[in-house]
Chains A and B, each alone.
Chain A
Amino acid sequence: DAMVIQNPRYQVTQFGKPVTLSCSQTLNHNVMYWYQQKSSQAPKLLFHYYDKDFNNEADTPDNFQSRRPNTSFCFLDIRSPGLGDAAMYLCATSRRLETQYFGPGTRLLVL
């Protein structure tokens, strides 16, 4: 019973070519997060939605955008991927004051 689903699991894109990663949830949680995780590092929060309210971390590059069209879905758009954007991208959800549930991640490779 998948609760947080991320597609695709692996994404290969070319330098500068826009890419969109998707996340969906069956938990009906009101908060959805996007993290970037590079090898052997902790997840780095990019932004999160509290319901429809978008909260951007101060150091998230402008190259990263997000959309949340409804409660269940959230998208991460990388407008012009660079080699340094190659990473695992994790989506998570939570109810306020509760645990985060992470998806399996999308591994992005930039050629």
Chain B
Amino acid sequence: QQQVKQSPQSLIVQKGGISIINCAYENTAFDYFPWYQQFPGKGPALLIAIRPDVSEKKEGRFTISFNKSAKQFSLHIMDSQPGDSATYFCEASARDFGNEKLTFGTGTRLTIIP
């Protein structure tokens, strides 16, 4: 019940295209769904996050779509740029007081080609 399945494992997108990464979870107690971006040799950094009371959140070129009934959420990167080339991790967490549960997806290596 702690698993988060992330796909695809790797993704190549042309500059200007849309990059889409998907995650699916099992534990219905999860209530916070961030996406992190990680460059080689660096720690992950928050990109965008969503809570299950909304179905979509947009920040600039980045959008999270959330489907509570299907227990799925996805990251869309519009107008993808070479600087977006990185590894992306979804996370699902249940943040009950003193009983936090955190699970990362397996990661997607995104490459944007000119």
A binds B: yes
Which A residues have a C-beta under 8 Å from some C-beta of B?
4, 31, 33, 40-45, 48, 50, 53, 55, 90, 92, 96-97, 99-105
- Main secondary structure, interface of A, reads strand
Cα–Cα, bound, A97→B49 (Å): 11
Contact among A31, A43, A104 with B104 in the assembled complex (CB-CB below 8 Å)? A43
Interface residue? B53 (CB, 8 A): no
26 residue pairs of the A-B complex, CB under 8 angstroms, read A4-B43, A40-B109, A41-B106, A42-B104, A42-B105, A43-B44, A43-B104, A44-B104, A45-B102, A45-B104, A55-B98, A90-B43, A90-B44, A97-B32, A97-B95, A99-B49, A100-B46, A101-B46, A102-B36, A102-B43, A102-B44, A102-B45, A103-B43, A104-B43, A105-B41, A105-B43
Residues in A with CB closer than 8 Å to B109 are: 40
Residues in B with CB closer than 8 Å to A4 are: 43
Q: Are A50 and B100 in contact (CB under 8 A)?
A: yes
Given A43-B89, A103-B43, the answer on whether A96 and B107 have CB atoms closer than 8 Å is no
